[in-house]
Structure 1
Amino acid sequence: MQVKKCSLIALAISAAVSQMAVASQQSEAKGFVEGSKLKVLNRNMYMNRDFKHGQRNGTKSYGEEWAHGLITTYSSGFTQGTVGFGVDAFGLVGIKLDSGDGRNGVGTGLLEINDAGEAKDDQALAGAAAKLQISNTVLKYGNQMVSLPVLAISDSRLLPESVTGGLVTSNEIEGLTLNAGHFTALSNRNQSSRDSAGMKSLDLAGGTYKFSKDLIGSAYWAETEDYFRKYYGNLNYSMPLSDTQAFIVDFNMYDTKSDGLGLSRAWDGEKLDNQIYSLAAAFKTGAHTFTLSHQRVTGDGGYVYGPDGNSTMYTAHSMQVSDFNQENEKSWAARYDLNMAAFGVPGLTFMTRYIKGTDFNTTLSSNGKEWERDVEAKYVLQDGPAKDLSFRVRWGTRRTADIATGNMEDLRVFVEYPLNIL
């Protein structure tokens, strides 16, 4: 494992060195200070979840929390020369605004919980990573936020997750992006300890290639020690039909198999050995986009998350509430998106979708069924002193008798205001 990881990193760096004479990212480096960027995202979030019939935690059936987050990110430029050096850093602060009367910690995942089971008044986490650039290859080591199909931090709550380790990203060949990494810790989105997810180690390698302007493919491998090994594949094809119309097809798949101790298991205690596939077809015409999709799981166990990030599921049916990822589950979905810019209201968008899953296995059923309905609206101010201030509402409904905590109403309200300081 260690030899494979080191070889991948050495290959990426040697490829960069061999092409240093070609115009590159590093040749255009502005300097450590001159290329610096400092941003602060103010995120105000309200969330409530209503678990019907007191299913969650045996007694509590309702969770409600409101908080404000400050997400500060700093990215330096690279020093000039053959080899460029720089630093990235982040600081995360979450402040409780309202939570109590038995409403906190009931499945929302918004705020960190103390030993008494109550939401903390505040939480904070900071991290930094050193980075090095040669030609079009960047090596980054330290605390960072990674979004890859086999390691993706979640940013769907108040504060984002982060990981600790090293990542090489190489763009030496036109149209090809290669990644190789080794990570040893992951901090969950509502916890401030350095490795709250319990990651031992995670190694990954893969890349994305643009075959043409319309066809893109990806392939990745990752092994999370004592949890699982995952393969990922993707093909995305976009066919323009006119200036205002396009047809898009997106295929995704994962192959997962337990590794070592197999700390993530199937519902019946067996080790994982499964595949999940999804295919989505979208037709875009003017302001409207219509999407139909199908997803299915095969093999032993369902697709699971572990210490590889709560957003590591790049499939069509990774939804607001359910991911339709139970053992043997087959699901269909219909989605509609509307961009109101075409009607004179730029910045206003709507989305609604309906998903139905069948034939899955759990401890409650060998012929499980579930459905979910999501509605979302978002508005971003386009100009004025509050430019880029955004308002977003997400409402999801899920119903099933075959998953213990399945029935749910999920409401999330976001107000975000980004500040570009540098």
Structure 2
Amino acid sequence: MRVMKWSMIALAVAAGTSQFAVASSQDDSKGFFGDQSLKLKTRFEYMNRDFKNGARNNADSGYRQESGISQLLTYESGFTQGTVGFGLDAMAMGAVKLDGGSGHRGTGLFAVDSDNNPEKSQGKIGGAVKLRLSDTVLKYGQQFVASPVFATDDSRMLPEVATGTLITSKEIKGLELTAGRFTALSKQTGMARDSIGGLPDEDGNHGKGLSNGINIFGASYSFTDNFTGAVAASDAEDYFKKYYVNLNYTLPINDDQSLNFDFNGYKTKGDDRGDQVDAIGDGTLGVDNNLWSLAAAYSIGAHKFTVAHQRSSGDNAYYYGVDGNSTIFVANSIQISDFVGRDERSWQARYDLNMKTYGVPGLSFMTRYVMGDHITTNGLGEGKENEWNVESKYVMQEGPAKDLSFRVRFANYRSNGAYSGYASDNYDTRVIIEYPLSIL
């Protein structure tokens, strides 16, 4: 069975290499050191969650506040010259807690020690080897992944890190093929190689999330400059099989106006232990789910107005996490809620403002409101939820602090009594300062 899964990867590579480009990336290689890069990203993050009616998890305070600073150092070599290029990638990361004791823990910025106090520091390292033939790259080891069916999350101090093999092929202009197999996923607050967690075994002990591996495949194609499409699929053994599709079209109206349409859809089918999952803790088992969203955005000058509709259906809510906490590429996945409850229907209204038009390049604002209802619960009636977000960001445009960014995010989340088991009412405030520095 595993041979069949690896044959899928081989087929993807064969399809990508059937038409070699006249001038490939490997032909233009400047060597192992000639194309190398070394980057350091420093991040400060402050997070405050105020649960007005008490936290859902009584083990944590209803008022949570933590802050810390992290650094992520990434090295990427070039590829050696020749028909097949060889290279190495490496990463080292660490975070230090600045504020937040046991009474205020629970934001997700830091893991907790044996005394239930937030860890004062945490860190991890990793590396990967890579090979390139023409415009096809094979990488094995620790890496970041951004597939719609397997994506590493980077919303806290340190990112998730996946361990496995990923093949990316860009042999045909406009077409990108990806295929891979991953056997471990380190969560943002977990320093172990495979710490994402998993379903309980017969003794009630939680196993490792990807101990049996996940296979992924993806393809994206640019039909025109304004129309793109993508498909992806995954098989997380003992959990589920997941399928994804995306269509994105931009209609230019004139130099100052455009209309964009973005469709995203998922289909999840339970597999073995996945059929025993209780996705939201309401006693309903199974992970079979259909989820889709359609967003339309009208841009005019500095302004963008977006409306979106999203629907979830099936035996349970949309389930993810073992495949990465960013594996949800839909319109209404926002700061706190993803609006993916069982049978949920949700609407979004959003407004973006780019201040470059008004003489302040790098400054932007965003606000959005999402309302969800029609949620099926375990005998508690119709579930409902809503969330309002406000965000502002400024990026330095020049000088020694170029690319230094300041970001403030605020969310107000509410749910009715029938759906309060999913998340408690709360105010969520975050301040994020990032400074990316290119050393080499």
2:48 matched residue in structure 1: 48
Question: What are the residue-to-residue correspondences of 1:218-257 with 2, within 5 Å?
Answer: 218-257=230-269
2:439 matched residue in structure 1: 421
1:361 matched residue in structure 2: 376
Measured after TM superposition, the shift of residue 366 of structure 1 is 3.0
Measured after TM superposition, the shift of residue 16 of structure 1 is 5.7
Q: Matches of 1:79 and 1:375 in 2, distance apart?
A: 47
Does residue 213 of structure 1 match 2:225?
yes
Q: Matches of 1:4 and 1:286 in 2, distance apart?
A: 51
Listed one character per residue, the Cα deviations across residues 325-345 of structure 1 (whole Å, up to 9, x for unaligned) are: 100000001000000000000
Aligned partner of residue 111 in structure 2, secondary structure: coil
Aligned partner of residue 235 in structure 1, secondary structure: strand
Aligned partner of residue 27 in structure 2, secondary structure: helix
Measured after TM superposition, the shift of residue 88 of structure 1 is 1.1
Q: Which moved more, 1:334-343 or 1:305-314?
A: 305-314
Q: Matches of 1:183 and 1:34 in 2, distance apart?
A: 30
1:311 matched residue in structure 2: 326
Aligned partner of residue 35 in structure 1, secondary structure: coil
1:133 matched residue in structure 2: 132
Q: Which of 426, 429, 435 pairs up with 1:408?
A: 426
1:324 matched residue in structure 2: 339
Closer/same/farther in 2, CA of residues 147 and 21 from structure 1, 3 Å limit: closer
Closer/same/farther in 2, CA of residues 14 and 233 from structure 1, 3 Å limit: closer
Question: What are the residue-to-residue correspondences of 1:52-71 with 2, within 5 Å?
Answer: 52-58=52-58, 60-71=61-72
Where structure 1 has 5 or more consecutive residues not aligned to the other structure, the ranges are: none
Letter aligned with residue 290 of structure 2: Q
Aligned partner of residue 70 in structure 1, secondary structure: strand
TM superposition score normalised by structure 1: 0.97
Aligned partner of residue 342 in structure 1, secondary structure: helix
Measured after TM superposition, the shift of residue 225 of structure 1 is 1.4
Does residue 277 of structure 1 match 2:292?
yes
Does residue 299 of structure 1 match 2:314?
yes
User: Post-superposition, which runs of at least 4 consecutive aligned residues in structure 1 deviate over 4 A?
Assistant: 15-21
Q: Matches of 2:173 and 2:412 in 1, distance apart?
A: 44
Does residue 100 of structure 1 match 2:101?
yes
2:200 matched residue in structure 1: none
2:356 matched residue in structure 1: 341
Listed one character per residue, the Cα deviations across residues 51-99 of structure 1 (whole Å, up to 9, x for unaligned) are: 2222332262111101000011111100010000101111110111111
Listed one character per residue, the Cα deviations across residues 383-417 of structure 1 (whole Å, up to 9, x for unaligned) are: 11111111000001100122223311111100111
Give the count of matched residue pairs: 420
Calculate the aligned-residue CA RMSD, in Å. 1.4
Letter aligned with residue 408 of structure 1: N
Q: Matches of 2:251 and 2:428 in 1, distance apart?
A: 35
Aligned partner of residue 116 in structure 1, secondary structure: coil
Where structure 2 has 5 or more consecutive residues not aligned to the other structure, the ranges are: 197-208
Does residue 199 of structure 1 match 2:213?
no
Listed one character per residue, the Cα deviations across residues 355-374 of structure 1 (whole Å, up to 9, x for unaligned) are: 00001023473311111000
Residues 16 and 134, structure 1, Cα contact 8 Å, conserved in 2: no
Measured after TM superposition, the shift of residue 15 of structure 1 is 4.7
1:388 matched residue in structure 2: 403
Q: Which moved more, 1:92-101 or 1:283-292?
A: 92-101
Letter aligned with residue 386 of structure 1: A
Residues 20 and 172, structure 2, Cα contact 8 Å, conserved in 1: no
**Identity among equivalent pairs (%):** 50
Measured after TM superposition, the shift of residue 14 of structure 1 is 3.8
Question: What are the residue-to-residue correspondences of 1:77-116 with 2, within 5 Å?
Answer: 77-100=78-101, 102-104=103-105, 106=106, 108-116=107-115
Q: Which moved more, 1:223-232 or 1:341-350?
A: 223-232
Aligned partner of residue 3 in structure 2, secondary structure: helix
Residues 141 and 163, structure 2, Cα contact 8 Å, conserved in 1: yes
Does residue 398 of structure 1 match 2:413?
yes
Closer/same/farther in 2, CA of residues 61 and 81 from structure 1, 3 Å limit: same
Q: Matches of 1:234 and 1:178 in 2, distance apart?
A: 15
Q: Matches of 2:315 and 2:18 in 1, distance apart?
A: 45
1:29 matched residue in structure 2: 29
Listed one character per residue, the Cα deviations across residues 105-154 of structure 1 (whole Å, up to 9, x for unaligned) are: x2x11012112111111001111010000011000000000001000111
Residues 13 and 134, structure 1, Cα contact 8 Å, conserved in 2: no
Letter aligned with residue 129 of structure 1: A
Measured after TM superposition, the shift of residue 11 of structure 1 is 2.7
1:352 matched residue in structure 2: 367
Closer/same/farther in 2, CA of residues 229 and 18 from structure 1, 3 Å limit: closer
Residues 257 and 299, structure 2, Cα contact 8 Å, conserved in 1: yes
Measured after TM superposition, the shift of residue 217 of structure 1 is 0.6
TM superposition score normalised by structure 2: 0.93
Residues 21 and 171, structure 2, Cα contact 8 Å, conserved in 1: no
Closer/same/farther in 2, CA of residues 71 and 21 from structure 1, 3 Å limit: closer
Aligned partner of residue 69 in structure 2, secondary structure: strand
Question: What are the residue-to-residue correspondences of 1:117-128 with 2, within 5 Å?
Answer: 117-128=116-127
Measured after TM superposition, the shift of residue 274 of structure 1 is 1.3
Letter aligned with residue 232 of structure 1: Y
Listed one character per residue, the Cα deviations across residues 188-244 of structure 1 (whole Å, up to 9, x for unaligned) are: 111111100121210011210111111111111101111111100110001111111
